[in-house]
Amino acid sequence: MRASQRRRSIGMLAALCVLSSLFFACGKKGDPTLTSFEIPIPPSSLTAIHREGVITIRWDYPRTRESSIAEFIVMRSSGVEFEKISHVSANMRTFVDSTVKIGDTYRYKVISQNFRGVYSGDSNTVEAAPVQPPVPPTKIAYVIKDATAIISWEPLGADIRYNIFKADEKGAYGLTPLNPAPLADPVFRDAFSVNKTARYTVRSLRGGTIRDEGPASSELIVDPADLVPSQPQDLRAYPAQDGVYLSWAEFTEPWVTGFRIYKRVESGHYVLTGQTQIPSFLDKGPSDLRRDYRVTAVGPGKEGPAAEIQNVMFIPQQ
């Protein structure tokens, strides 16, 4: 091939690459890039929370569409016009506005922008007029009933609502409360797990278009190892030919792991004579004529108070 023909061929190839770059990456395999010219979808479900002097806004955006955008743009209005106040990376869904004042009114919206600078439409607009939040709740406590942790606290007034938060680790509380809507009553019921320590805090808030949450309460730790079983009830003894049968009422505390049986010895002390996971026990020990017993329930970490039965007369069969 002549040099002039080679130059014309190279020029034609370069021109084809330039033209095809509108549709494909020249020299590479990949998806068409026409999608980069599409208008990205807008963020949705924008909400606002006022907590500890800042307003946190949150929004939704499909993770499957995240790779098609470069960033989010947060816009705020204190009057009529909106202005850009921040650029947020595409993998984020929150923004914290620390330049707010109690008593002022703010409106927020968020848009997305792709890599070619094409903007989406607006998200929904949320209005935030922060007010002075209430004080944190006090006297946080809990009781375990069946398989439920019942958490309660001191009420703060008829116009105050509450949000409760849960974490597996100290301080690892998110923005989303356990309760789907603010609580009017100072009590919350949560599923209890005997295998896991749970931590809770409660925040009080005022009603309005946003969550005006106050500071967090002290942390409440629900540790199964701290639970003390109740005393066994209705302890009874039944002497038989092969020993003494003991029985007591079924336990309603599902976290009880078993029972311990103690018997008084000649020295007057009680010693462990056996363990069981059901509310009954057969003592096949030495054939003392007179026997005294104590029975306790055992939790994940602690033993409860003992029930006693005395003067059980065992007369072996002759």
Predicted local distance difference test score (pLDDT) of residue 252 = 84
Please report, in tens digits, the pLDDT of each residue of the chain (318 residues total): 454 554 444 444 444 443 444 444 444 444 545 666 789 999 999 999 999 889 999 999 999 999 999 999 999 999 889 999 999 999 999 999 999 999 999 999 999 999 999 999 999 999 999 988 899 999 999 999 888 999 999 999 888 999 999 999 888 898 899 999 999 999 999 999 888 999 999 999 987 667 889 999 999 999 999 999 999 999 999 988 788 999 999 988 888 999 999 999 888 899 999 999 999 999 986 666 788 999 999 999 999 999 999 988 877 665
Predicted local distance difference test score (pLDDT) of residue 197 = 93
Predicted local distance difference test score (pLDDT) of residue 30 = 42
Measured distance between the N- and C-terminal CA atoms of the chain, rounded to whole angstroms: 123
Predicted local distance difference test score (pLDDT) of residue 76 = 97
Count CB neighbours of 217 within 10 A: 22
Q: Are 58 and 126 in contact (CB under 8 A)?
A: no
Instruction: Give the strand order in the sheet containing 280-283.
Output: 236-240, 243-247, 280-283
pTM: 0.70
Q: Which amino acid is at 208?
A: G
CA–CA distance, 221 with 238 (Å, rounded to integer) = 42
What's the token pair of residue 154?
């001191």
Structural domains for the chain:
36-128 (2.60.40.10), 141-226 (2.60.40.10), 236-313 (2.60.40.10)
Q: Are 175 and 58 in contact (CB under 8 A)?
A: yes
Helix (H, G, I), strand (E, B) or coil at 141: strand
Among 239, 212, 232, 238, CA closest to 276: 232
Q: Are 249 and 232 in contact (CB under 8 A)?
A: yes
Q: Are 248 and 281 in contact (CB under 8 A)?
A: no
Count CB neighbours of 92 within 10 A: 12
Count CB neighbours of 164 within 10 A: 22
